[in-house]
Amino acid sequence: MTRRTSALLLAAVTARAQDVVAANPAAARKRLVPTAHPDAQWFPEAGLGLFLHWGISSVHGGIDLSWGMMHGLGSGPKITPEEYFRLAERFRPDRWDPDSILAAAKRAGFRYAILTAKHHDGFALWPSDHGEFNTRKHAGGRDLIRPFIEACRKNGLKAGLYYSPGDWYYSREVMSFNYRSANCWQNSALSCRPEVPDFNTRFEPVTLPKRTPEWEAKYRAYQRGQITELLTRYGKIDLLWFDMATVVMTPSEIRALQPGIVINDRMGDGTGDFLTAEGAFPKVRPEGWWELCTIWNSPYWGYVASNEERYRPLAWVLETLAKTRAWGGNLLLNAGPRPDGGMPKPYWEGAEQLAAWMRHSGESLFGTKPGGWPETANVPVTTKGRTWFLHVPPATTSIRVSVLPSAPSRVTMLNGGRVLPFEFRDGSLSLTIPGDQRTNLLDVVSVRFGKDQAPDRVY
């Protein structure tokens, strides 16, 4: 796969996310009111989450999860839905070991993890009693959710599940697989074009039957049944991550089963505990709880078998994480397991590199409050009590922070502890990190204030 193709695919992912936001700009601007349940208050300080996009698309290894069977979206390889659904027959997750995956994530600073229990393709990773497209009939009947939840608890990570209310297998006879056609899945909200023909599961033009009230009622019952299973079979679930379709249960109904659960904002009704930004860093600072979910692996959300499979470099991860924390959000970083459940080599390498950085500078990102970047600082800032942390990318040489309450009592490098000279004048701090203290990664400067001077924010 060429770099150009990868770039085009990533652009397609971003465009799809922008479609969703454009469809409901009022909801995107709305400030959500998060739950006050004490078991949910971990979320705004979690900082870093691991997203695992896994499913039968990994058997192919060259198509995007679910979207690899949607004609007319992106430039990557496509297979017909008929071919896609048959991948379930070859899904053999014999090396699924979430304990080792999440142990590495814990060492790397991740605080929560989310697994795609069911993506848009409709394949459920547990032996559901609802529907036929799940591990009850495939993958040897294995429950792939339970060991994931148990591994989260064992390794001290909050446990989250992704569930797509859209189900292209269940809906395969009544929906179009031609993107932006009149009857494409949920496409009434995504600027569909009447001149684009509907496609069946063989990518053939077709006139689709209407969805009857009886069909809709069975579909809702099926969705409710699966969501209820996820919330009652595995003990405490900390987070439920919905995606791109109206959810058939209300937050109250969900919390009757899991009182302390955190829910994202993709239920289709404008509710939720936190705002979800996808693919690109927000242009304006979100209000309240929020999360940026983006791809660590490349170029798809799911597994890619090509020898060119890459993970974004550590420098990018750290800079994105610092910006997100400086605005009080969490970074949800995605990786894709192989069809056998193992993780690609770049995951282990990336987690090890991240763990090494966290050992000397991780304190600047967790248990912190947001700072005033970019309004009053030229680098992302987080605060913790009487200490401010300045996150300096490799390309930045001079650091400037204004509106300080007083002169700092001590300015040091987190990595190594070297004391740095600085200038303080008219409430503004300026300094330059000596060249021998710079790395090719994000460097963190700790600014300590004297006793009884403990600003919560930079501005």
E strands, 93-147, in order: 112-118
Q: Which of 362, 389, 417 is the last residue of a domain?
A: 362
* pLDDT at 405 exceeding the cut of 80: no
For position 339, what pLDDT does the model report?
A: 97
For position 44, what pLDDT does the model report?
A: 96
8 Å CB contact between 266 and 316 = no
Q: Which of 332, 362, 392 is the last residue of a domain?
A: 362
349/390 same-domain check: no
pLDDT above 90 covers a percentage of the chain that reads 81
185/43 same-domain check: yes
In a domain, residue 454? The reply is: no
In a domain, residue 456? The reply is: no
49/192 same-domain check: yes
What value does the mean pLDDT of the chain take? 90
Q: What is the CATH number of the domain that holds 298?
A: 3.20.20.80
415/357 same-domain check: no
Examine residue 299 and say whether the peptide bond preceding it is cis (omega within 30 degrees of 0).
Answer: yes
8 Å CB contact between 441 and 402 = no
* pLDDT at 453 exceeding the cut of 60: no
End-to-end CA distance of the chain: 46
H or E segment and range at residue 318: helix 314-326
In a domain, residue 458? The reply is: no
In a domain, residue 47? The reply is: yes
230/137 same-domain check: yes
Beta-carbon contacts of residue 12 (< 8 Å; ≥ 6 apart): 73, 74, 75, 76
For position 286, what pLDDT does the model report?
A: 95
Beta-carbon contacts of residue 96 (< 8 Å; ≥ 6 apart): 142, 144, 147, 337, 340, 341, 342
Q: pLDDT digits over 210-239, tens only? A: 999 999 999 999 999 999 999 999 999 999
* pLDDT at 78 exceeding the cut of 70: yes
Of the ranges 58-67, 107-116, 299-308, 447-456, which one carries the lowest mean pLDDT score? Answer: 447-456
In a domain, residue 218? The reply is: yes
Query: How would residue 408 be classed by pLDDT, with cut points 50, 70 and 90?
Result: very high
* Side-by-side strand order, sheet with 410-413: 369-370, 381-384, 387-392, 443-448, 410-413
Domain count, the chain: 2
Q: What is the CATH number of the domain that holds 432?
A: 2.60.40.1180
pTM: 0.91
Over residues 145-155, the mean pLDDT reads 98
For position 118, what pLDDT does the model report?
A: 98
351/380 same-domain check: no
Distance CA 286, CA 284 (A): 6
344/421 same-domain check: no
27/104 same-domain check: yes
Distance CA 246, CA 244 (A): 7
Instruction: Give residue 415's domain range.
Output: 369-448
For position 269, what pLDDT does the model report?
A: 86
214/305 same-domain check: yes
Residue in 416, 414, 425 with CA at minimum distance from that of residue 448: 414
283/245 same-domain check: yes
Over residues 180-205, the mean pLDDT reads 83
Instruction: Please count the residues of the chain.
Output: 459
In a domain, residue 115? The reply is: yes
For position 324, what pLDDT does the model report?
A: 98
Q: Which of 320, 343, 362 is the last residue of a domain?
A: 362
In a domain, residue 455? The reply is: no
202/141 same-domain check: yes
In a domain, residue 117? The reply is: yes
Q: What is the dihedral of CA 142, 127, 106, 296, to 10 degrees?
A: 100
Q: pLDDT digits over 337-392, tens only? A: 999 999 999 999 999 999 999 999 999 999 999 999 999 999 999 999 999 999 99
Residue in 261, 450, 440, 246 with CA at minimum distance from that of residue 357: 440
Amino acid 458 reads V
Q: pLDDT digits over 295-349, tens only? A: 999 788 999 998 767 899 999 999 999 999 999 999 999 999 999 999 999 999 9
164/90 same-domain check: yes
